[in-house]
Amino acid sequence: MKLIGSKTSPYVRKVRVVMAEKGIAHNFVEENAWSVETTVPRFNPLNKVPALTLEDGESIYDSVVIVEYLDTLPGLRLIPEDPRARALVRRDEALGDGISDAGIAMRLESQRDPARQDAAWIARQKSKVDSGINAVSRSVAHRKGGPMTVGDIACACALFWLEFRLPEIRWRDDPVLRAWAESLEGRPSFAIGPSKRRQASTRRAIVPGITVSLAPTHFARTVGDISYSTGSDGRLSSLAAASRAPPWCETTIGPFGCRRRIHATKAWRP
């Protein structure tokens, strides 16, 4: 099997976590649906990732369809058989995917030229993200543990994506979500994709002159109290230090794919 996707997509990450949990051997083909040279339409006419090619060459797409298929293969079951329990797990999967949909819509809109941005549209998507996060918290609190499901995986991938791309949405302030997220992050299957745990390995130094190096595919990070993100053109799009405005920072950002540096011009005191 061949999984076509990007390392930063929450939907792709959901599929990768399921594959890791079930021990399904596959090749991961890294592709960016937004690149002019993308090959994704060969596997999904909608030019979206993930897509999965099966042994006979047939492609299936949409993470929901892929995950449902994968769960029929041998290994840990992540979607229950019982119709009601199944519906609740699929609902939570839809919740996680819906948070990702709204978060991505918010981010795409806020990356447009400021004069062309629609603030009402961004606010509408933000309200879906906020109420979605509250619903995840309620679902986790209601279930009080139990086996991990595709619902947990979808919600966790959405929230980790938010932390990666929109770090100002501080869902970890909710103790229920924090404990749940930490228990999932501890699983080897979640070691793939962007996460707080991986940030430590990309950190070079956090000193008054802040220097941060990024893996090529990572263009948003929170390191210590510093949150920053860059657009796909590699230019800095946001930078924040805790509740403090960032005028003390000067940035030198290399071209996309290169090491980027964020350099403070003055000593930074929290």
The answer to the question of residue 33 lying near ligand GSH (CB under 6 A) is yes
Q: Which stretch binds ligand GSH (CB under 6 A): 16-24, 46-54, 109-117, 124-132?
A: 46-54
Contacts of 249 (CB under 8 A, 6+ apart): 210, 239, 241, 262, 263, 264, 265
Instruction: Name the strand (E) or helix (H) holding 179.
Output: helix 175-185
19 touching ligand GSH, by CB under 6 A: no
Question: In whole angstroms, how close is the CB of 266 to ligand GSH at the nearest point?
Answer: 37
**Three-class DSSP category at 69:** helix
The SS3 of residue 226 is strand
At residue 83, what is the residue type? P
Nearer to ligand GSH, 44 or 189 (CB): 44
From 43-51, 127-135, 142-150, 258-266, give the range in contact with ligand GSH by CB under 6 A.
43-51
Min dist. Cβ of residue 151 to ligand GSH (A): 14
Does 16 interact with ligand GSH (rule: CB under 6 A)? no
Q: How far apart are the first and last CA of the chain?
A: 49
What does residue 62 show for φ and ψ, rounded to 5 degrees?
A: 85, 125
217 is a site residue for ligand GSH (CB under 6 A):
no
Compute the least distance from the CB of residue 150 to ligand GSH, in Å. Answer: 12
Site residues for ligand GSH, 92-131, by CB under 6 A, read 97, 104
Q: Per CB under 6 A, does 53 bind ligand GSH?
A: no
b or e along 58-87 (b: 16 or more beta carbons within 10 Å of the residue's beta carbon)? eebbbbbebbbebbeeeeeebbbeeeeeee
Residues binding ligand GSH (CB under 6 A) = 9, 11, 33, 47-50, 62-64, 97, 104
